[in-house]
Structure 1
Amino acid sequence: MAQTPKDTLEHSEVVQQSDSLEKGDQANNKYRSEYDDEDRAPEARGRDADEMAPGYWLSSRFLGSMAAIGLGFCGGTGGYALIAPVLNDINDDIGPSDNIAWVSIVYILSEAVFFLLVGRLSDVFGRRWFFIVGSLISMVGSIVGAVAQNVNTLIAAEVLIGIAAAFQISFYWVISELVPMKWRYVANSYAYMVSIPTNPLAAKIAFAFQKTPVKWRGSFYFMTGVNALSALCWFLFYHPPTFKMLHRKKAAMDLFLHFDWMGLVLYTGSLTVFLLALSWGGQLYPWSDPHVVGCIVTGGIALFLVFPAWELWLQRRGKDTFLPLHLFTNRVYQACVWITGIGAATYYGFSLVWPQAVITLYSIDSYDRLGTLSGVVAMCFVFGQMFGGLLATVIGPRWTVISMTWIAAPIYIACAANPLNLTLTMGLITTGSLAIGASEAVAATTTTFRLRTQEELGTAGGLSGAIRSFVSALATSIYSTVLANRLTTTVPQYVGPAAENAGLPSRSVPALIAGLQGSGPLSQSAVPGLTSAINATAAQAYKYANSEAYKTVFYTSFAFGGAGMILAWLILDNDKSKYGLVAGHVHNPKNEKTLETVPAAENA
C-alpha cells in the first residue's frame, strides 16, 4: 500500500525525533553508566529534562500517567486502610469467624511477595501492562469484597487487593522515573496528597460509611470506582518504552528462556512461607506451635541460605540473576531501604494497635470521633510523608532523615508516660507519626538515586518494597505478641484484686475478665455477685491494666526507632550534577511502531 504524503511526513518527523534523541543521548555522557544497556533504543534511555519535547510536561500522556499513578496508589492503600478500622464490625455482620485475622494477614503477605516480581519483571519486559493489570486485579478484588457474604470470601478479596497493591504502591519509583531527579521528592509528595481519602482519612471515611445503609461495603464500592478510573488512565495515557524499545537485539523468547525462573520460585516460595509464620505467631497460633516453628525454619533456610546460594552460583557462571546481588553491597541504598521499612513498621504496627487502644482506654461515644482518633497515626504519618518530600528538596535527604528519625524514636517512647492521658498521648503520637512519616518518604525516594544505573529502577524499587513489607510484617507480629502477652499478665494483676476489694467473690473473677474482654456476657447471671459499682471499679482497673500493656508496646517501638537513628547517619546527599536527568518518559502511542523499528544510530 502506497504511503500518503501525510504518512510520509509523520514518518519523517518521527525519524528526525529519534535522530535527535540519539544525538542528545550521546551528548549526555554525564548521565551514562558503564552498566547501562546499550541494547536500548534512544527513546528508552534517560536524558536531560531540557531535551524533552516542547509541551511534554503539560501533555495528556504525562499528566494522565501521573493521574494513573496517584489513583493507583489510592486503590492500593484504600483496599486495606478502609477495611482495617471496621474489621470487628464486618465480622459481626458476615461472621463471626475465627478467620477474620486473615483479612489483614493476606493483604500484607501478598503485597510483600509481589513487590520484587513487579519491579524486576517490568524492568525486563516493559511496564505498561503490569500496571494496567494491577489496577484491574484491585478492581476485581474490590468487587468481590463488596458482595462478600462470609469472611472467607472477604479473605479472597484481600488476596487480590494485596497482590494488586504491590503494583500500586510501587508508585514512588514509577513517578521517580518520569520526572527530573531534582523533583522526585516533590512528585512523590503529590502522590501522598492524592491518597488523602484512602490513607490519612481512611478510618474516618470507613466509620462514616458505617452510618450509611451499605455500611462497610461502601468502602469497596468506592475502591471499585477508584481502581476502574486508574486502570483507564493507565491504558489511555501510560506509554513507557515497549519491549522492543528496551531490547533492539534480543528476542522475547530468548529473554524468557534465559530468565532466572528458579530464583523467582525460590524467592517467592521462601518469602511466602517465612512471612506466613511471622503472621501466624502469637496471633493464630502460639510461637511454639509446629505450624509456626516449621514454617520459620523451612522458610528461613530457603530465603536466607538456599536462595542467595543459588543467585551467587548463577552470577559466577555469568548469568543474569533474578535479584542483582550488588544491591546488597550498596551501603547507602540499604540504609535507605531499612529506614523505609522501619517507618512502615510504625505505620502498619500502630495502625492495628492504636485503634484498639482508643476503643479500650478512652470512652468514645461518637463514630465520628472514634474514626478521627483511630486514624490519627495514619493521618499524621501521611501528612509527614507529604512534608518530608518538600523538606528534602530544600535541605537534602541526609539531614531530613537524620533529624526526623531522631525526633520520632524518642517521642514514641515518651507515649508510654501515661497512655490513659488522651491529650498527652495524642500530642506525642501525632508528632512522632509526622516525623517518622517524613523520614520514611524521603528514604524511599532516596533509594531511587543511589543506583549504579537508573535502568534497574524497578528492581531496586521492588526490593525496597519487599523489605519494607517484610519489616512491617515483623513489626506487626511483634507488637501484637507483646500486647497479647502483657495483657495476660496485667489484666489478672489489676482487675482481680480491684474487683475482689469491691466485693466480688474470687470465683467470679474469671467470668468478669471474660466479660470485660468481650469473650463472654457481662451480667449478674454470668458473673455471680456483680453489681454496678463493682462493674465500674473493674472497668477502671481493666483500663489501667491495658494502659500498662500499651506502655510496653511503646517501649518496644524503640527496637525499630533506635536502629533507624543509627542507620540514618549512613545516608548521603544526592549528586546534584545529575538532577536534570529524566530516567524514563512516556511517548506518543501513534509513533510507537516507528520508534520500535527505526534505530537511528544504526541508520545514521
Structure 2
Amino acid sequence: MKDSPTDTETNIEYHEKRDLPNNWDDPHRAALEDNPETPGKLTLSVLLSALFLGTSFTGPIIFGFILITPILVQLSEKIGGETIDFWIPSGWGAAAAVGFSIAGRLSDIFGRRYVILFGQLLTIVGGAIAGTAKSMNQLIAGEVILGASIGTVSVAYAGLSEILPNKYRGMGLAWTEFNLASWSIPGTLLANAMISDATWRIMFWIAIGYGTFSLIGTFFVYFPPSHPRADGKTKWQEFKELDFIGAFLFVTGLAVFLYGLNSGGSTYPWEAAGTLAPLILGLAVFLGAFLYDFIVPKDPLFPWYLFKNFREFSSLIVLVFVAGMVFFTAAALNAQTILYLHTSDPIKIGIYSIPSGVGQLVGGVIIPALVHYIRHVQYQLTFAVFMQTLFFGLAALITPTNLNWLMAVQFLAMLPFGWITLNCYTAASLNVPQRDLGVAIGLIGTFRSLGGAIGSVIFSSIFDQTATKQVARRIAEGAGNAGVSADSIPGLVASAKLTLLGVPGLGSPLTNVPTSVFEESVTAARYGYAYGLRITWLVSIPFGVIATLCAMAVRDPSKYFTNHVEVHLKDKVGGKVKAGGQRP
C-alpha cells in the first residue's frame, strides 16, 4: 500500500509531553539522520549478548511447548488428566500473554537486563516443577511458569533490535528463531522417542540447561545503558504508577473466559449457565481491562496512544493474534492428525512431522533474515498471511489415504508463522519510538500468545466435540448394518479409539463382533477424526481473511532499514569495563 505525501512520517504521540532527545522520541528521524555510511563494527559484547539473548527462548518455547504438545494424548495416558490436558497449551499461552504485557513496560522502566534475567530464572524454576511432575496438575503449573518465562524473556526481542543496526534487525531476530527451528525439525520425533523409549522428563531437564546457560551468559555480558529520565521521575515512582488494576482485570478476565470456552459442549451444554456465565463475565472483564487502560491510569499496560495508530501498530497486533491462533493449535494437532489418521508408531509420527519443522526454519529464519534485502514489508506480510490462510484451509482436505498431502500442507501452512511474527516485530521496532519499544514489543507478544491461548481452546474444542460425535455415529452405523447389537456398540467405539492410540489386541475380547467389522470400525474412526479436523480448519478461514485485509494496511517501514543503531552497549564483559560504549 503506497503512502501519500501527507502520511509518510509516523506521529505516535505520548500522553505526556516530555523533553526527550529526538532519537528517543522519533524513530524515523533518528533512522534517517543518524545514519552512518557504513554499519558500525559489531563489538564482542554485542555478539555475545546476541548469543545469550537468542538462546533464552529455546527452553520455554521448544521444551516447554513445541515438544510437549504433540504428545499430550500419550502423556495423559501415563499421568492421567486427559480432561484437563488442554490447559498445557492454553495455560502456557495465557501466562505468556500476561508476561509479555507486563514485562515490556517494566523493561522500559528498569531496563532490559534485569527483566530478561528474571525471565531466564523462571525457565529454570518452571522446568524443575514440570520435570518432577507426578500429576497433570503439577505439569500444568510448571507449564504456566514456563509460559510466564517466555513472556518475560520476550523483552530480548527489543534488546536485540536496539543493539543492532536497523538494517540487520531482521537478522538478529532470525537468530532467535534459528535456535527454535533447529529443534523444531526433529521436535516431534524427539518427543515421541522420549515418551516411548526413555522419559518425557528429559525435555524439561534440557530446558533447565538452556535457562542456566542463557542466564549466566546474559549476567556477564549484557549491559545496556540506563534509559533517560528527563521527567525527573525515579524508577520507583514510575513503578508505583504501573497499572496493577488493569493487569488484574486482564488476567482474571482471560482465565474466566478460557474456562468458559472449554466448558462449552464438554462440561456443560453451550446454552447452559455454567458455560454462558464465565464466557460473558470473562469477556466483559477482559474487554474492560482495555477500556479502563485507555482512560484511567497514568502509565497503562495497553496505551491508547499506540493502539490508535492502526497502520503502524494495531494492524500488527491483529496479524500476530490470528497467526498465533492457528499456529499454536496446529502445533498440537499436527501430531494428533498423524496418530488418528495414519499410525500410532511414535517414530513414524516424528518422521512424518519433519516438514512442519522445515517450514518453520524457512519461514522463521531464512526469509526474515533477508527482510532488509527484500523490503516491501507490507507486501511480505500480506502474502504470508494469505499463504497461511490458504494452506490451513486446504488442510481440510486431509484424509487417512493422502499422507503425502498431509506432509505438504504441514510445510506450507507452518512456514508463514515465523515470517509474520518476526516481520511484525521488525516493523514495530522501526515505527515505534524507543521510549515505548519495550511495551510495543511486549504487546505484540501478548496478542500472539493470547491468540494461541484462545485458538487452542476454540479449535481443540471444535475438533474434540465434532470428532467424538462423528466417530461414534460412523461406527454405530457400520456396526448396526453388520448386525452388531446396540449393547455392544459403546464397547466397540472405545476399543476402536484405543486401537488408534496403539493399544493392541482390543478386538479379541469383543466375541460378538467379527474381526472384519472391528477393522471397519477402526477405519470409520479414522474418517470420523478426519471430519473433525476438516471442520476445525474450515473455521479458521474467516480469521485469516480478516488478517489478510489488515496486512494490506500495514505501513511499510523499508526506508528506515539504515545503519542507525539505537542503543550502544556498555562494552563490559565478565565485569571488566572498557573505555567507551555508552551512547551520549
TM-score w.r.t. the length of structure 1 is 0.83
Other-structure match for 1:342: 322
Residue 52 of structure 2 corresponds to 68
Partner of 1:430: 411
Which of the numbers 484, 491, 500 marks the counterpart of 1:511? Answer: 491
Check conservation: 2:89, 2:456, Cα contact below 8 A. no
- Per-residue deviation, residues 142-194 of structure 1 (Å, max 9, x unmatched): 12222222222222211211110102344433321221221112221111112
C-alpha change, 1:103 and 1:180, in structure 2 (3 Å) is same
What is the aligned counterpart of 2:394 among 410, 414, 417?
414
- Indicate conservation of the 8 Å contact 1:377/1:429, yes or no: yes
Distance 2:195 2:334 in 1: 20
Q: Map of 1:160-309 to 2, 5 A cutoff?
A: 160-210=145-195, 212-213=197-198, 215-242=199-226, 245-246=228-229, 249-282=232-265, 286-288=269-271, 290-305=273-288, 307-309=290-292
| Partner in structure 1 of residue 340 of structure 2 | 360
Q: Give the conservation status (yes or no) of the 8 Å contact 1:388–1:442.
A: no
Note the C-alpha offset of 1:49.
6.4
How much has 1:102 moved relative to structure 2?
2.7
- The residue matched to 1:105 in structure 2 has which SS? helix
- Verify: 1:546 aligned to 2:529, yes or no: yes
Shift of 1:443: 2.7
Percent pairwise identity: 23
Output the amino acid matched with 2:51. Answer: A
Partner in structure 1 of residue 544 of structure 2: 561
Q: Tell me the SS of whatever aligns to 1:545.
A: helix
In the TM superposition, 1:98-177 aligns within 5 A as 98-177=83-162
Q: CA RMSD of the aligned region, Å? A: 3.4
Alignment-derived partner of residue 352 in structure 2: 373
Bigger shift: residues 194-203 or 460-469: 194-203
Partner of 1:3: none
Determine the C-alpha separation between the residues in 2 that align with 1:176 and 1:287. 45
Partner of 2:305: 326
The residue matched to 2:339 in structure 1 has which SS?
helix
Letter in 2 for 1:390: A
2:328 and 2:266 mapped to 1: Cα distance? 16
**Aligned counterparts of 1:32 and 1:578: Cα–Cα separation in 2:** 18
The AA in structure 2 aligned to 1:207 is N
Choose which of 510, 531, 534 in structure 1 pairs with 2:517: 534
CA displacement at 1:43 relative to structure 2: 11
Letter in 2 for 1:412: F
Moved more, 272-281 or 195-204: 272-281
**Once structures 1 and 2 are overlaid, which stretch shifts more, 39-48 or 269-278?**
39-48
- Please, which of 403, 425, 438 is the counterpart of residue 444 of structure 1? 425
Change (3 A) 1:292 1:111: farther
Instruction: Give 2:318's aligned amino acid.
Output: W
Deviations 1:64-120 (A, max 9, x none): 211122111111212111222223333333336644333333211211112110001
1:281, 1:242 → 2: CA distance?
49
Native 8 Å contact 2:163 2:565 kept in 1: yes
Q: Judge conservation of contact 2:103–2:152 (CA < 8 Å) in 1.
A: yes
CA contact (8 A) 1:350 1:377 kept: no
State how far apart, in whole Å, the 1-side matches of 2:149 and 2:96 are.
Answer: 7
Identify the residue that residue 19 of structure 1 maps to in structure 2. Answer: none
How far apart are 1:468 and its partner, in Å?
Answer: 1.4
Contact 1:342 1:471 in 2 (8 A): yes
2:107 alignment partner AA: S
Contact kept, 8 Å, 1:139 with 1:228, in 2: the verdict is yes
In terms of mean alpha carbon deviation, does 465-474 or 411-420 score higher?
Answer: 411-420
Whole-angstrom distance in 2 between the partners of 1:529 and 1:460: 64
2:460 to 480, 483, 487: 480
Q: 1:52 to 1:164 in 2, by over 3 A?
A: farther
Q: Provide the C-alpha distance between the structure 2 equivalents of 1:233 and 1:246, rounded to a whole number of angstroms.
A: 28
Please give the alpha-carbon distance, in whole angstroms, between the structure 1 residues aligned to 2:125 and 2:37. 40
Partner of 1:392: 371
Change over 3 Å in CA distance of 1:524–1:569 after alignment to 2: closer
Residue 5 of structure 1 corresponds to none
Kept in 1: contact 2:317–2:448 (CA 8 A): yes
C-alpha deviations, 1:488-520, integer Å up to 9, x for none?
442233222222333422332222112222399
Say which SS state the counterpart of residue 517 (structure 1) adopts: helix
Aligned with 2:440 (options 451, 457, 460): 460
Provide the rounded CA distance (Å) in 1 between the counterparts of 2:65 and 2:329.
Answer: 13
Mapped to 2, the partners of 1:417 and 1:43 lie a distance apart of 51
The residue type paired with residue 409 of structure 2 is: L
* In structure 2, distance between residues paired with 1:71 and 1:285: 43
Instruction: Select which of 586, 599, 603 maps to 2:569.
Output: 586
For residues 263 and 185 of structure 2, the distance between their equivalents in structure 1, rounded to whole angstroms, comes to 28
Secondary structure of 1:518's counterpart equals: helix
- Cα distance change of structure 1 residues 339 and 502 upon mapping to structure 2, 3 Å threshold: same
CA distance in 1, matches of 2:217, 2:266: 40
Unaligned runs of 5+ in 2: 1-8
Distance 2:455 2:307 in 1: 22
Aligned: 1:498 with 2:444: no
Aligned pair in 2 of structure 1 residues 227, 358: CA closer, same or farther (>3 Å)? same
Indicate the SS of the match to 1:210. helix
Partner Cα distance (2:265, 2:438) in 1: 34
Specify whether residues 361 and 33 from structure 1 end up closer, same or farther in structure 2 by C-alpha distance, changes over 3 A only: closer
Q: Residues of 2 paired with 1:349 and 1:179: CA distance? A: 33
203-212 or 470-479, which deviates more: 203-212
- State how far apart, in whole Å, the 2-side matches of 1:287 and 1:163 are: 31
Q: 1:284 to 1:162 in 2, by over 3 A?
A: farther
* Segment of structure 1 superposing worse, 228-237 or 493-502: 493-502
Q: Is the 8 A contact 1:515 1:521 kept in 2?
A: no
Q: CA deviation at 1:236?
A: 0.9
